Structure 1
């Protein structure tokens, strides 16, 4: 029985691929400015603190959209919300294209944040609803993995472009503007997976809505989410400058490639997580995140670019494992009518962790220096990751006890891990 409307011309599989591509492009655009920041600083002479402010206003716009229109697609449908968000993203890249100073960068990042926030819940919910029936978990997997892939592609590609031209923005932002407009037109052709229902205006009131039945799982996921996304904030806001000043790497593309390495590991962790039960993936991921953070600190102490790359891969792998595990856990505890709102709430936590610590780091770097601030930041991430491991272990023990199974029931874990996704 087809549960989608017949308004679109694309089939379920094609619609799923289209939304997965839109998710990747949105995330690639979010990381695209990071490798260009050092060039912007040279052109217009702003400080490291202003750099983190430019990064933070993106997240402010994103959180504003999540808190207001994050669950709007649960009422209006996925298609109209996505079309509007994609056109707003095209507006942001057009502003980047014509930027003439810090004011333009701030405006572009706010608009970009609004677009990403408006699209996030609808994209995640749409991927779940268009997922192949034989692999129902593929939607949540690609929602999480697509974030890492997009961030890696955006930062890596622009990092390489920085190496060959002093004006990479003159090439990348026209392309992205055209791509977003084209995607908006294509989304008009997908079926509508979610029927309209009343309450659209009421849903615009700023609030985070997590249904009572999903709250225990949601709150249990917070330490792992914050640890992984806080580390991503360090890389996106400050790592291009950190690689140059603390590791003394003169290769122009190094900043963007360092971000790409983290998010490649993140994507690999997200894909690997489908082989494990959600709680196991979260626990393994948080442990790897703590280990990778220790490796990053050691790399700074030893001034070793090689150790920094290894630490980035391990930390990224852990963040991807943990985030996918938490999304699967939250999705399983949520009904379809509240799914976009709950995903939006999860991303409110995620993006708050992405921005607030990095903004604080930018302010502290004025007094303590970038390298000392980085040590403190990495220690903060490591402590949260360890707490997530401990909490996940306790939750697993309680669940096994409640189910009446021994704590070392390996057979049950293997059966769950092999469930097709």
Structure 2
């Protein structure tokens, strides 16, 4: 019997509602990308601030990133299991609440004036962010057509870059400037002034805790599509029921790529204020230098919009390889020169970093089917590169100087260029 027009209407309506649900979910998720970008890059001002407050060397100061990104290594696989059990939505809620607790712990850490307590608070904060990463990144890749996954993830990551761009500016205003004012107006000992500087972190992290708590309440109340069923349906078409995500070489190589990328990006962002303070580079104060770190992250923001457009016409892996090669050249110029050339070369790296994280992430998850949640956990675990590479660079900087130490991330970009050229290809 021929179908009447009316018989086709419910199906079209269902598809339309599904598309609207996907769009709404993507819009809501974008707020999370903004928030964790802001929190992560606020470390770039926290590092020189606590370095001064506690008289730390480079290695000790960069333990901030070791604890923050070390949480990704410790918590990513448990986070993947959590998301698989409770779903993407409630995984996001749990992540937001844990991150809020981490922010609140900055208050007792500042009151106690103990650096290890700051590191503990950062670990808890980053554990919440890890759950958000594990839930949100694959959620974005699944919400729509597989062939546009890199585009969607790059676009939402642009909001992450916006948060990251604003964070150094906000940190300069709320932390560095506040600390400088308290020191200038207090005729007290150096030790007392350092303790006053530690107090400067209370207000901004209290605000972040309140914002994260409100977002958790909003997400708990929202109705978002549960993509676990669709993920399982994709598995029936593209994957077998046995094995694990570890059997996919392109995923493992992609995890190494994320390790290298995050390690390089975090190292450059974390040391840029101190780098720009060097007399042979720019000779800025910490407050002035923090504003230029915003240009670094702002380049990533602009680059993600440009990259989203370019990847409609050029394959994502080719764009990845090209950007990595450019960054090898830029970092070489920054290390081998001085003054304005060195300063702007290292800042420009942010523009070409732009598409690397979402592109590596989506390329590595291609074809994983039912193993997508586990694969996402593995990839987020690889973000531990942001913990390892900075402290290695910090050790070299203490021994040979920061200018020379920044040559090490060149190796990271060389590997990323290879992954974009060859390593991304699925074979299993």
Scaled to the shorter chain, the TM-score interval is: 0.7 to 0.9
Q: What is the Cα deviation at residue 137 of structure 1? A: 4.8
Matched, 1:327 2:361: yes
Out of 18, 35, 40, the position equivalent to 1:30 is 40
Deviates more, 1:353-362 or 1:154-163: 154-163
1:127 to 140, 146, 161: 140
Other structure's SS at 2:368 match: coil
In 2, the alpha carbon distance for the partners of 1:32 and 1:63 equals 20
Matched, 1:187 2:215: no
Aligned residue number for residue 249 of structure 1: 283
Q: CA deviation at 1:78?
A: 0.9
| Pair 1:237-2:235 in alignment | no
Contact 2:262–2:385 at 8 Å: present in 1 too? yes
1:229 and 1:353 map into 2 onto residues whose CA distance is 6
Structure richer in helix, relative to its length: 2
Distance 1:3 1:347, change over 3 A: farther
Displacement, 1:77? 0.4
Deviation at 1:69, TM superposition (A): 1.8
3-state SS of the aligned residue for 2:28? helix
1:248 Cα deviation from its structure 2 partner: 4.7
Q: Is the 8 A contact 2:277 2:284 kept in 1?
A: yes
Structure 1 match to 2:317: 279
Q: Any idea what the Cα deviations from partners look like across 1:94-114, whole Å, max 9, x if unmatched? A: 112342320221111110121
Equivalent runs, 1:381-396 vs 2, <5 Å: 381-390=409-418, 392-394=420-422
In structure 2, the CA distance between the partners of 1:80 and 1:309, relative to structure 1 (3 Å rule), is same
> Who is 1:408 aligned against?
none
CA-CA distance at 1:224 after TM superposition: 4.5
Note closer, same or farther for the CA distance 1:190–1:26 as it changes in structure 2 (3 Å cut).
farther
State the SS of the aligned residue for 2:227: coil
Contact 1:273 1:325 survives alignment (8 Å) = no
Q: 1:222 to 1:345 in 2, by over 3 A?
A: closer
- Matched residues in 1 for 2:155 and 2:223: separation? 18
Counterpart selection for 2:344 from 309, 317, 323: 309
Deviates most, 165-174 or 357-366 = 165-174
Mapping for residues 330-409 of structure 1, pairs under 5 Å: 330-335=364-369, 337-349=370-382, 351-374=383-406, 378=407, 380-390=408-418, 392-394=420-422
Gaps of 5+ in 1: 198-207, 403-421
Q: Is the 8 A contact 2:317 2:359 kept in 1?
A: yes
Helix, strand or coil at the partner of 1:253: helix
CA distance in 1, matches of 2:146, 2:342: 42
Q: Please state how far the C-alpha of 1:83 moved relative to its aligned partner.
A: 0.8
1:20-70 CA-partner distances (Å, limit 9, x unpaired): 111220121122132133332333333322211222011122221102223
| Counterpart contact for 1:156–1:260, Cα < 8 Å | yes
**CA contact under 8 A between 1:62 and 1:115: conserved in structure 2?**
no
Between the aligned partners of 1:56 and 1:252, the Cα distance in structure 2 is 22
Residues 141 and 260 of structure 1: CA distance in aligned 2, closer, same or farther (over 3 Å): same
* Counterpart-to-counterpart distance in 1, 2:269 and 2:46: 11
Count of equivalent residues: 374
Aligned positions of 1:4-43 closer than 5 A:
11-43=21-53
